[in-house]
Amino acid sequence: MHPRHIPFVRLLLPWGLGILLGAWLNRPFPGLALGLVAGFLLLLFLAKRRYAYRFRWLFGGLAGLLLLGAGYFHTVWHDERMQPDHFARQCPGARVFVGVVYDAPSRGNKLKIPLRLEAAGRSADSLRACSGQVLLFAEISAATEGLRYGDRLWVQADLRPVNPVQNPHAFDYQRYLHFQNIHFQAFVKEGSYKVIATGLGHLLWRMAFRWRDRLLGILHEHFPGADEYAVASALLVGYKDELSEDLRTAYAETGSMHALAVSGTHVGLLYAGLLFLLRRLPWSGRYRRWGETVLVLVAIWLFTLVTGATASVLRASVMFSAFLLGKAIRRQASVWNILAASAFGLLWLNPYVLFDAGFQLSYAAVAGMVFFYPIFQKQAPSLPKWAAEGYNILLIGVAAQLGTLPLSLYYFHQFPTYFWLAGWVVVLGGAVFLWCGAILVLLNTLAPAAAAWLAWALYYLIWGMNYLIQQIQGLPGSVWSGIWLTAGAALLLYVLIGLLSGAFLLRRPGWLLCALLVFSVLGLGRAARSVEHYQQRRVTLYALNRHFLLDMFDGTRAFACTDTLPARQEKFAAQANRWAHGIELSVRVNLSADTLQTYPHVQIENGVVHFFSKKIAIVQQLPSNTVPVVPVDALIIRGNPSCQIQEAIRHFPAALLVFDASNSPWRTRRWKAECAALGLAWHDVREQGAWETSF
């Protein structure tokens, strides 16, 4: 393929690199805007000049440099905090604010309400116009059920910056919200907010969310089962708030979660169904070509709006739009160029979308299918038509899995062994449900009795899909978990896949040697980490508000000293850190036991933990004066006891005091002041995150 056939690929590379640099440095450079304008004028001047062939690189080099600078500038100034009228600059310390709900509120343990501010102030009579976005958390109640996109709210609450990640290697919610351009949050109580206007926001989005609510109402009426309704709403409109944790885990561990996130597969199925119907209409010639194009484009973009315009759907919609328009004007474009053009356009609208895992996985999956599927198909055996279709689904799944493999390992640290088997279930079942679900929506108005019969069949289709997915999840070795991959290793894995593919396709033996070198680097890195893991002695106290969890890593074995912490909460707080340190076995130790507990290199008695040569006292209440004094290396205070630091160190002399997150903030502040007066070092887990030490 000649580079002239894929111009957007060449443009995307410097543009994306500029976005990466902008997100990494995240600070403006004086004079950059002026330099970009001057560079653009110079580019226009060079475009009209003729110059020697040996200087042909000047135009392309300058264009690439300008794109890199433009990507950097666009990313830095996309950050809402750079705006001069941002509320953090205009109204610092604001407690009263007015804003518009700019996206549909989402449900979890609490209702999350994204709010775009219009005015803020310290009191209701001191409001000033401002900009900025905040995330509100509210208890789910009858009062919150009526909140919709486009509602203007009056709110009284304390705005706080989003907290940084508290536990090592845990999901970084602050970073996630940063790339949603949200940097402040507030917890609101009932009565501290009210709706003062409705029907604001963009008309198209209001209509889209209204249609989505109607579709969800139809599904809720016909799918009484909680799991069946949750999967049906995810498949049809991309609404995943009702999915239970067990169901999410089952689909994730079988590699089928993509079916529940509306993506290019859904857009492709919609396109195929519409094309099947439109080709049976009595029209021909130019009217047919343009009529099909317009109707399909309208349907695709309406579907995109109703499903929330996620990155994967936008990518697919842009690609299908380019393909359909090219077909209508009888021009055929390279798939790679369409893919790059859609990415370039989305990054122009929002550079932060580059850091969205769904965006990355979506493009990686399509790239894998475009690259690997034709290769696999050429090697496919001759099969009957009924078997060939199923075999093609398998090949598409394998191609997409190869494209997303490094990213999947990096983000999710697991590999679903039976993704190919689950793929048949969700692709075939999802296709039938998507087409029949559209018919159900029409019949619900035109023929309710027929709609009820169809809904009954679709209900058991979804029930069967869930049952099969859960059975596949239960197969031996269904998922390899605990695979820890760094960003650098993921990039090298992509290089390795590319070198091996190129060596076989282009017959370049030298590329095999390069692949062997990359494989050796990955292997040596893995070996070095394994040696480090086998020699480690590490202690980690996690940040948990209502519970206690202290991990002691002895090689690849962990001793988890905890109280009544539920297993799911323990996994959420500590699993990623254990995987990152190569822990293969975790032994749970009961902190509240009164008897002596002895394990290899670990001994616990009367709240004092002996780990190799280290002693750590864990105090919830001070012992009586008759208990002997025990010098320790660190004293952990938990459970908010009413005591003074001087009294605590009289029982447990220690150079370092650690205050667990279960202590109240005001009491912890008092203890820190006492430590400062006594010259003692301290670590506040609530403010500083998890306490870690190694020896």
Q: What is the pLDDT of residues 401-413, one digit of tens each?
A: 899 999 999 999 9
Residue 213 lies in a domain: no
Averaged pLDDT score across all residues of the chain: 87
Is the alpha carbon torsion for 369, 370, 375, 378 positive or negative?
positive
Same domain for 505 and 421, yes or no, is no
Number of domains composing the chain: 5
Q: What is the pLDDT of residue 326?
A: 72
**Quick check: 688 pLDDT over 70?**
yes
pLDDT the model gives residue 215: 86
462 with 556, same domain: the answer is: no
Query: Residue 659: beta bridge partners?
Result: 637, 684
Q: H/E element holding 602?
A: strand 602-605
**SS3 sequence, 337-383?**
HHHHHHHHHHHHHCHHHHHCHHHHHHHHHHHHHHHHHHHHHHHCCCC
Query: What is the distance of C-alpha 360 from the center of its chain?
Result: 10
Domain finish residue from 456, 476, 496: 476
Strands 184-188 and 557-562: unpaired
SS3 at position 46 = helix
| 549 exposure class (CB count in 10 Å sphere: 0-12, 13-18, 19+) | buried
pLDDT over 70 for what percent of the chain?
95
pLDDT confidence of residue 597: 82
- Long-range contact list for 629-633, CB < 8 A, 24+ apart? 629/653, 632/608
Q: What six digits make up the tokens of 582? A: 């190569």
Q: Tokens for 88? A: 């953090």
| Range ranked top by mean pLDDT from 202-211, 259-268, 274-283 | 202-211
Shared domain for 499 and 560, answered yes or no, is no
The string of pLDDT tens digits covering residues 12-43 is: 999 999 999 999 999 999 899 999 999 988 88
Rounded to whole angstroms, how far apart are CA atoms 370 and 378? Answer: 13
Nearest of 256, 208, 210 to residue 231 by alpha carbon: 256
Return the pLDDT at 598.
85
pLDDT at 92 exceeding the cut of 70: yes
- With a CB cutoff of 8 Å and minimum separation 6, the contacts of 309 are none
Residues in contact with 294: Cβ distance below 8 Å, sequence separation at least 6, in sequence order = none
Same domain, 245 and 376: yes
**pLDDT of 45 higher than 70:** yes
What pLDDT, on a 0 to 100 scale, did the predictor assign at position 554?
Answer: 95
| Domain end marker among 25, 54, 78 | 78
- Whether pLDDT at 388 is above 90: no
Q: What is the pLDDT of residue 61?
A: 86
The string of DSSP codes covering 56-120 is THHHHHHHHHHHHHHHHHHHHHHSGGGSTTBHHHHSTT--EEEEEE-S--EESSSEEEEEEEEEE
pLDDT tens per residue, range 556-604: 999 999 888 888 889 999 999 999 999 998 898 887 766 778 888 888 8
**H or E stretch at 439:** helix 419-446
Is 214 contained in some domain? Answer: no
Q: Which of 505-509, 513-517, 568-572 has the lowest mean pLDDT?
A: 505-509
What gap in Å lies between CA 227 and CA 224, rounded to an integer? Answer: 9
| One domain, residues 423 and 524 | no
Asked if 683 and 545 sit in the same domain, the reply is yes
Does residue 258 form part of some domain? yes
Residues 43-50, mean pLDDT to the nearest whole number: 78
Of 452, 476, 500, the residue that ends a domain is: 476
Kindly state whether residues 285 and 383 are assigned to the same domain. Answer: yes
Residue 587 in contact with residue 559, Cβ under 8 Å?
Answer: yes
* CA–CA distance, 274 with 294 (Å, rounded to integer): 12
Which candidate, 173, 63, 20, 53, places its Cα nearest to that of 108?
173
Beta strand extents in 390-536 (DSSP E only): 414-416, 479-481
> By C-alpha distance, which of 566, 579, 467 is closest to 533?
579
Same domain for 493 and 436: no
CATH label of the domain that carries residue 127: 2.40.50.140
Q: Are residues 417 and 377 in the same domain?
A: yes
Give the span between the Cα atoms of 571 and 569, in whole angstroms: 5
* pLDDT in the model for residue 295: 83
d(CA 547, CA 117): 36
What's the pLDDT score for residue 49? 72
Same domain, 584 and 626: yes
Residue 53 has pLDDT above 70, yes or no: no
The whole-angstrom separation of Cα 619 and Cα 639 is: 8
* Owning domain of residue 652: 537-694
Q: Which range, 42-56, 135-149, 224-238, 673-687, is most confident? A: 673-687
Do residue 434 and residue 492 come from a single domain? Answer: no
Look at residue 57 and tell me if it is in a domain: yes
The residue among 308, 314, 368 whose CA lies nearest residue 344 is 314
Label residue 196 by pLDDT band (50, 70, 90): very high
> What's the Cα-to-Cα distance from 376 to each of 140, 496, 515, rounded to whole Å?
50, 19, 21
Specify whether 301 is located in the same domain as 229: yes
pLDDT beyond 90 at 132: yes
Name the residue with tokens 């919200």.
177
- The residue with greater pLDDT, 271 or 529, is 529
User: What is the mean predicted confidence (pLDDT) over 669-692?
Assistant: 94
Question: What integer pLDDT is reported at residue 394 of this predicted model?
Answer: 82
Report the pLDDT value the prediction gives residue 157, as an integer from 0 to 100: 93
Residues whose CB falls within 8 Å of the CB of residue 354, separated by 6 or more in sequence, listed in order = 16, 19, 20, 23, 347, 360
In a domain? residue 21? yes
